Amino acid sequence: MLRKLYLLSAIILSGMIASAQNLTIPPDGGNKKASVSERIGITDVTIHYDRCGVKGREGKIWNGLVHVGFKDLGFGTSKAAPWRAGSNENTTFTFSTDVMIDGKPLKAGTYGFFVAMGESDDATIIFSNNNSSWGSFFYDPKQDALRVTVKTSKLSESVERLKYEFMNETDNSAVVALIWEKLKIPFKVEVDYVATQMASFRRELTSSEGFKSDAWQQAAFFAANHNTNLDEALQWSDYSLNGQFVGEKNFKNLTTRSLILNKMGKTADGDAVMKQAMPMATMQELHAYGRQLLNDKKPKEALEVFKMNAEKNPNVFTTDMGLVRGYSANGDYTNALKYAKHAQTIAPNKANKDAVDAMIAKLSDGKDVN
């Protein structure tokens, strides 16, 4: 009987220990779990990794703790393993759309990330289809999705804990860098922003968003503004205006249609649509359209819009400022100065008054304020 009680106690204790192993505790070795994410265009790039520390080992990390090339680690199935690019489990990269890594294509997905250090100032970065292993002990080159050789660079100051950073961001790219001790391993992630955005619009317009006129207009305007898929943009524009239960004739939708037609070389049709749109515009919409025409180097057309706005909304600071800009863009500094002085008397706050004062000074010297 006593033997059975001992056996039962041992089983219970074993179960308690097993349960305790499921408790949330910091990872072994004090390596901190971390993640960093950034959106490039509409592509989400997320990195999960464990941050190992230098811990007084300056000068012993590279070609020491981190081996060069591929090595038999003495455990696991791999006989030629790269560095795990962090600690503990796989470092992983997740891309929500297809990307380019230093000019080479990589499909959307989640990848294990490894690094094979070179003999000098280079390293081979590896994206593996195996994203769920522990370290690189089970690395298999047959599971590689992409390998790219990149240049490393030295740092003047030591970074205690390994980290990944996004830098040099543009609308369609960013440099991702692994940084640790006195070394940086950077590589460029690029996306085809316009193509991914257009594909996203096509998906979203078949969802509940497709029941909103603004959504069709937004997609059409993006395509026109990027001078891409203009036939498709014209269809989207038509639906924003005339779609059953959706279509709305307003200044924004008509302006977008005019823009598309002008991009397609159908300027007469575009002008006709704008004539239809003008009476529907609010004061702010007309002012913004006049400013857009100035940016498009169409000063005469811009002045006509500013004049129309002033006739509809006389003695208003916004319309006075439109006339200042319109006359100035056409070289008529006398009229521009007249409206600037009037705008000064009705400026709604000090910031606006200061801006008008600066314009008056420029116009008095015969300089364009735009």
Last residue of a domain, one of 169, 191, 213: 191
Q: Identify the three-state secondary structure at position 275.
A: helix
**What was the pLDDT predicted at 223?**
98
Last residue of a domain, one of 191, 223, 250: 191
Whether residue 205 sits in one domain with residue 85: no
Rounded CA gap, 370 and 365, in Å? 14
Q: Angle at the Cα of 133 (from 130 to 137), degrees rounded to 5?
A: 105
Contact criterion met (CB below 8 Å) for 289 and 255 = yes
Whether residue 351 sits in one domain with residue 254: no
Rounded CA gap, 165 and 361, in Å? 46
Whether residue 184 sits in one domain with residue 203: no
Whether residue 362 sits in one domain with residue 344: yes
**What was the pLDDT predicted at 329?**
96
Contact criterion met (CB below 8 Å) for 333 and 314 = no
Domain membership of residue 7 (yes or no) is: no
Rounded CA gap, 335 and 361, in Å? 14
Whether residue 180 sits in one domain with residue 31: yes
Whether residue 200 sits in one domain with residue 169: no
- 310 CB-contact burial (10 Å; exposed 0-12 / middle 13-18 / buried 19+): buried
Whether residue 87 sits in one domain with residue 187: yes
Whether residue 252 sits in one domain with residue 340: no
DSSP state of 52: -
**What was the pLDDT predicted at 21?**
57
Rounded CA gap, 344 and 132, in Å? 66
Whether residue 198 sits in one domain with residue 182: no
Domain membership of residue 19 (yes or no) is: no
Domain membership of residue 232 (yes or no) is: yes
Whether residue 276 sits in one domain with residue 309: no
Contact criterion met (CB below 8 Å) for 96 and 108 = yes
**What was the pLDDT predicted at 27?**
63
Domain membership of residue 289 (yes or no) is: no
**What was the pLDDT predicted at 23?**
75
Q: Which residue range(s) make up the domain with 91?
A: 27-191
182 Cβ partners below 8 Å, 6+ apart?
58, 154, 155, 156, 157, 158, 159
Residue type, 266: K
> pLDDT means per 10 residues in the chain (370 residues)?
45 46 66 93 97 93 95 94 94 97 98 96 97 94 98 96 97 97 98 96 96 97 97 98 95 96 96 93 95 93 95 95 96 95 94 95 94
Rounded CA gap, 230 and 262, in Å? 10
Contact criterion met (CB below 8 Å) for 356 and 336 = no
Q: Angle at the Cα of 55 (from 51 to 59), degrees rounded to 5?
A: 100
Domain membership of residue 178 (yes or no) is: yes
DSSP secondary structure, 110-176, as one string: EEEEEEEE-SSSEEEEEEES--SSBTTTT--GGGEEEEEEEE-EEEEEEEEEEEEEEES--SSEEEE
Output the CA torsion 268→287→197→91 (10° steps): 160
Q: Identify the three-state secondary structure at position 311.
A: helix
**Partners of 100 in the beta sheet?**
105, 190
**What was the pLDDT predicted at 212?**
96
Contact criterion met (CB below 8 Å) for 286 and 321 = no
**What was the pLDDT predicted at 18?**
45
340 Cβ partners below 8 Å, 6+ apart?
320, 324, 356, 359, 360, 363, 369
Last residue of a domain, one of 139, 163, 191: 191
Q: What is the CATH number of the domain that holds 314?
A: 1.25.40
Domain membership of residue 1 (yes or no) is: no
Instruction: Choose among 308, 314, 366: nearest CA to 339.
Output: 314
- Our measurement of the distance from residue 240's CA atom to the centroid of its chain's CA atoms, rounded to an integer in Å, reads 27
Domain membership of residue 292 (yes or no) is: no
Whether residue 169 sits in one domain with residue 41: yes
Number of domains in the chain: 3
- CB count within 10 Å of CB 107 equals 13
Whether residue 186 sits in one domain with residue 68: yes
Domain membership of residue 73 (yes or no) is: yes
Rounded CA gap, 38 and 27, in Å? 25
- 59 CB-contact burial (10 Å; exposed 0-12 / middle 13-18 / buried 19+): exposed
Query: What phi and psi values does residue 102 have, to the nearest 5 degrees?
Result: 45, 45
